[in-house]
Chains A and B, each alone.
Chain A
Amino acid sequence: MDLDQKLAILADAAKYDASCASSGANRRDSRDGKGVGSAGGAGICHSYAPDGRCISLLKILLTNRCLYDCHYCINRRSSNVRRAAFTPEEAITLTLDFYKRNYIEGLFLSSGIIRSADHTMEQVVQVARTLREVHDFRGYIHLKTIPEASPELIEQAARYADRISINLELPSQQSLDRLAPEKNLGRTKQAMGRIRVKLDDAADRRKNGDRKLRHATGQSTQVIVGADASTDADFLARSDELYTGYKLRRVYYSAFSPIPEPSSVLPLSAPPLMREHRLYQADWLMRHYGFRTSEILTPEQPNLDLHIDPKLAWALRNRQDFPLDVQKASRGLLLRVPGLGVKNVDRLITIRRHTRIRLQDLAQLRISLPKVRPFLITADHHPARELLDSDSLLARLAPKPVQLELFGHAPR
């Protein structure tokens, strides 16, 4: 099998991992080295696939042979998919060849589990180590790690990588038992906890002057949405735990996607892409807008509204808090206005020190007036109370009903 055929199989096998971040690494470049590469700025998306996803890293599996039988995964041992394996040298050369042509920011390397977790992890680490030590590669590396691998190997991975991750896959052990019988939530969290300690440690050493220290700066994970009966509240509660308790940089939500070689345990259906989008919005509200999970979802309503975004949904449930005076309201409150983002809130706070804010100021900032008008008081505008109270508000603000599923297939 030639390199082109291997790449076709092993990129195809890797594409269900949504993570594409290439930002947040320790700043460095190749001017004082002999190799190639730089990192540490904002991430760069070098291309976009027709699925709308950014292509930032060479995302491949070292091999798609796998002992595990995760039913949502095309590479599970029960699947008849074609199998292939890169030698470490092939993966290294491919990374460098793509990088030098400015196709990618670096490498995202994962692997099916072969022989044992440690054996697999050693292979993955060897690729990263050779790139760093033999080729002085200074681009971005994201390594997928296996919770059952020895802590020493995971720590080695963290030394060569910028980002490491373990996929949680499903938010409860019950779901894992059914769909990914070899995976264990407790062991995954235990490994994440150990990684967190190492990451904190490395951050402290850098802060205390060890500028040369080479170490990953963060960890992330992925969950699959729509493969089990978990509610959005289950997902967000789990994410909240991972952000606060384990300091994860990102939780990626991946709508369960139909795959070739479907499993009889998990018959496939079309992906609920809007649900994935709403989860990202809610996740964003938690991380950047000061929302608590309990404000976004309630026990009575454990799933996000697919028709309106979670911020608008919250505002409509809390109409008594509006309208807000844009001239006086606190930053925290302004961040809760549907249609106002972090950047524009900060601009408005600066502007209001110098002038009385009018609707045309909002328009100049390209804020959508129809969206914010019911919620804000400006020097020349006071929304009528009855506007906020009326049910017509929802009708006016919610987008026209659209076909939510991308394809019209009824779930089987």
Chain B
Amino acid sequence: MRRVDPGESFDTWRDAARGLLAEGVPPGEVLWEPAGGSSLFEEAVFQAEAATGKLAVPPAFVDLARNVACHGDPRRWSLLYRLLWRVTRGGERPLMQIASDPDVAKARMMEKNVRREIHKMHAFVRFRKTGETEEGRERFVAWFEPDHFIVGAGAPFFRKRFANMDWSIFTPKGCAHWIAEEFKLSPGVPRDPCGDPDVMEGIWRTYYRSIFNPARLKLKAMQAEMPKRYWKNLPEADLIEELSRGSSIRLEGMLAEPEREVRPLPKNAYLEMLRKLPDPDPE
């Protein structure tokens, strides 16, 4: 059994995997373990050598592996190596097309989780304005807690959308910054470094309260898309309980209200004109 350090990214894992593959080490003999982790195995950590020569791997595998590499599950590295082995050495060239293969299905599920988390980052990051530079460039910060290592993959979206603001997104799994038109990634931070709430959060909460229709409470549908683990960083989420609790009372109130009579038609030139318009499509 060999202990191999996958590093922290797709690129470091790929270098290690190439070396193993060149040596012909089957997946059952590799223990993927980040350096510093403890293990029952005594062997020294294998230092992968950059393999020489090109390795023909289906592009579908590379696309999948790039996403799976962002997943938080430490077993992702051994799963990826097993797939790589089967595709290259195992004679299963079309494997990536067989979505029902248990390894492929598992990797695809991880990929789906990662893509979803990137999407949720785009959705649930909430910026707070902290000020403006002397040139009038606005500065924003945000705190987000993703389940997977997706800050690098998720950040380009913000760069394109908010190209003319300065911003930093802090997370425990890496941070991204766009300051004075320079993009930078930095290591994660354990706690929310952002300061006081933004005044707009109060207005946003008013909007959230008002756009909710109490006549159609569907908490399960809401939670399927906005799971509770995100709530603590969403300024509107602590309204959910109050709004849900009050909804039936508000609905009862509506149902009990007396019906309003129709008011007489006002004298209005526009309404008179409307009544005289020909009907283009009498049915």
Instruction: Answer whether A and B are interacting partners.
Output: yes
Closest to A39 in B: B161
- Asked if A14 and B211 make an inter-chain contact with CB atoms under 8 angstroms apart, the answer reads yes
Q: Quick one: which of B119, B122, B206, B207 has the most chain A CB within 10 A?
A: B207
- Asked if B221 and A187 make an inter-chain contact with CB atoms under 8 angstroms apart, the answer reads no
Cβ-based interface call for A300 (8 A): no
Q: Quick one: which of A37, A52, A77, A353 has the most chain B CB within 10 A?
A: A52
Cβ-based interface call for B123 (8 A): yes
Q: For residue A59, which residues in chain B have a CB less than 8 angstroms away from its CB? A: 211
In chain A between 23 and 42, which residues have their CB closer than 8 angstroms to a CB of chain B? Answer: 29-31, 33-38, 42
- Asked if A350 and B97 make an inter-chain contact with CB atoms under 8 angstroms apart, the answer reads yes
Cβ-based interface call for A290 (8 A): no
- Asked if A52 and B221 make an inter-chain contact with CB atoms under 8 angstroms apart, the answer reads yes
B198 to chain A, nearest CB (A): 7
In chain B between 16 and 57, which residues have their CB closer than 8 angstroms to a CB of chain A? Answer: none
Cβ-based interface call for A261 (8 A): yes
- Asked if A186 and B251 make an inter-chain contact with CB atoms under 8 angstroms apart, the answer reads no
For chain A, the bracket of interface size reads: 35 or more
Closest to B205 in A: A4
Q: Quick one: which of A69, A100, A255 has the most chain B CB within 10 A?
A: A100
Query: Binary interface profile of A, 163-193, with partner B (CB < 8 Å = 1, else 0)?
Result: 0000000001100000000101111011000
- Asked if B222 and A50 make an inter-chain contact with CB atoms under 8 angstroms apart, the answer reads yes
B69 to chain A, nearest CB (A): 22
A101 to chain B, nearest CB (A): 5
Q: How far is the CA of A264 from the CA of B257 in the complex (A)?
A: 11
A11-B211 contact, Cβ under 8 Å, with A102-B127, A102-B142, A103-B126? yes
Instruction: Say which one of B2-10, B82-90, B185-193, B263-271 lies at the interface with A.
Output: B263-271
- Asked if A186 and B282 make an inter-chain contact with CB atoms under 8 angstroms apart, the answer reads yes
Instruction: Say which one of A202-210, A331-339, A354-362, A387-395 lies at the interface with B.
Output: A354-362
Q: How far is the CA of A80 from the CA of B263 in the complex (A)?
A: 11
A30-B208 contact, Cβ under 8 Å, with A67-B271, A355-B98? no
Q: For residue A54, which residues in chain B have a CB less than 8 angstroms away from its CB? A: 225
Query: Binary interface profile of A, 66-92, with partner B (CB < 8 Å = 1, else 0)?
Result: 010101000001111000000000000
- Asked if B164 and A365 make an inter-chain contact with CB atoms under 8 angstroms apart, the answer reads no
Closest to A71 in B: B262
Query: Binary interface profile of B, 187-228, with partner A (CB < 8 Å = 1, else 0)?
Result: 000000000001010111011111111111111111001100
- Asked if A3 and B101 make an inter-chain contact with CB atoms under 8 angstroms apart, the answer reads no
Q: For residue A347, which residues in chain B have a CB less than 8 angstroms away from its CB? A: 99-100
Q: How far is the CA of A172 from the CA of B97 in the complex (A)?
A: 49
Residue of A35, A44, A261 touching B123 (CB-CB under 8 A): A44
A256 to chain B, nearest CB (A): 10
Cβ-based interface call for B229 (8 A): no
- Asked if B212 and A51 make an inter-chain contact with CB atoms under 8 angstroms apart, the answer reads yes
Residue of A37, A182, A184 touching B161 (CB-CB under 8 A): A37
- Asked if A186 and B259 make an inter-chain contact with CB atoms under 8 angstroms apart, the answer reads no
Closest to A136 in B: B164
Q: For residue A383, which residues in chain B have a CB less than 8 angstroms away from its CB? A: none
Residue of B97, B203, B216 touching A354 (CB-CB under 8 A): B97
Residue of B140, B204, B215, B261 touching A78 (CB-CB under 8 A): B261
Q: How far is the CA of A38 from the CA of B222 in the complex (A)?
A: 26
- Asked if A262 and B225 make an inter-chain contact with CB atoms under 8 angstroms apart, the answer reads no
Residue of A8, A29, A45, A102 touching B206 (CB-CB under 8 A): A8
Residue of A257, A263, A268, A351 touching B262 (CB-CB under 8 A): A263
Q: For residue B217, which residues in chain A have a CB less than 8 angstroms away from its CB? A: 50-51, 406
Q: How far is the CA of A362 from the CA of B270 in the complex (A)?
A: 62
Q: For residue A161, which residues in chain B have a CB less than 8 angstroms away from its CB? A: none
Q: For residue A351, which residues in chain B have a CB less than 8 angstroms away from its CB? A: 97-100
For chain B, the bracket of interface size reads: 35 or more
Query: Binary interface profile of A, 253-296, with partner B (CB < 8 Å = 1, else 0)?
Result: 00101111111110110110100000000000000000000000
Q: For residue B257, which residues in chain A have a CB less than 8 angstroms away from its CB? A: 260-262
A104 to chain B, nearest CB (A): 9
- Asked if A255 and B270 make an inter-chain contact with CB atoms under 8 angstroms apart, the answer reads no
Cβ-based interface call for B180 (8 A): no
- Asked if B225 and A45 make an inter-chain contact with CB atoms under 8 angstroms apart, the answer reads yes
Q: For residue A115, which residues in chain B have a CB less than 8 angstroms away from its CB? A: 270
Q: For residue B165, which residues in chain A have a CB less than 8 angstroms away from its CB? A: 36, 100
Cβ-based interface call for B59 (8 A): no
B260 to chain A, nearest CB (A): 6
- Asked if A364 and B100 make an inter-chain contact with CB atoms under 8 angstroms apart, the answer reads yes
Cβ-based interface call for A49 (8 A): yes
Query: Binary interface profile of A, 199-229, with partner B (CB < 8 Å = 1, else 0)?
Result: 0000000000000000000000000000000
Q: Quick one: which of A16, A190, A262 has the most chain B CB within 10 A?
A: A262
Q: For residue A172, which residues in chain B have a CB less than 8 angstroms away from its CB? A: 283
- Asked if A47 and B208 make an inter-chain contact with CB atoms under 8 angstroms apart, the answer reads yes
Q: For residue A355, which residues in chain B have a CB less than 8 angstroms away from its CB? A: 98
A18 to chain B, nearest CB (A): 10
Cβ-based interface call for A94 (8 A): yes
Residue of B207, B255, B260, B279 touching A258 (CB-CB under 8 A): B255
Cβ-based interface call for A117 (8 A): yes
Residue of A15, A46, A364 touching B124 (CB-CB under 8 A): A46
Closest to B109 in A: A366
Closest to A184 in B: B279
Closest to A350 in B: B97
A-B contact pairs, 22 of them (CB 8 A): A29-B163, A36-B165, A38-B160, A47-B226, A50-B217, A50-B218, A78-B260, A97-B200, A102-B162, A173-B283, A182-B271, A185-B281, A187-B281, A259-B215, A262-B257, A264-B261, A270-B215, A273-B218, A347-B100, A351-B99, A353-B97, A407-B251
Q: Considering the complex of A and B, which 10 residue pairs feature the smallest CB-CB distances, nearest first?
A: A186-B281, A52-B221, A52-B218, A361-B100, A29-B160, A11-B210, A186-B280, A38-B161, A264-B259, A364-B100
**Interface residues of A, Cβ cutoff 8 Å to B:** 3-4, 7-9, 11-12, 14-16, 29-31, 33-38, 42, 44-55, 58-59, 67, 69, 71, 77-80, 94, 97-98, 100-103, 115-117, 148, 172-173, 182, 184-187, 189-190, 255, 257-265, 267-268, 270-271, 273, 347, 350-351, 353-355, 357, 360-362, 364-365, 406-407, 409
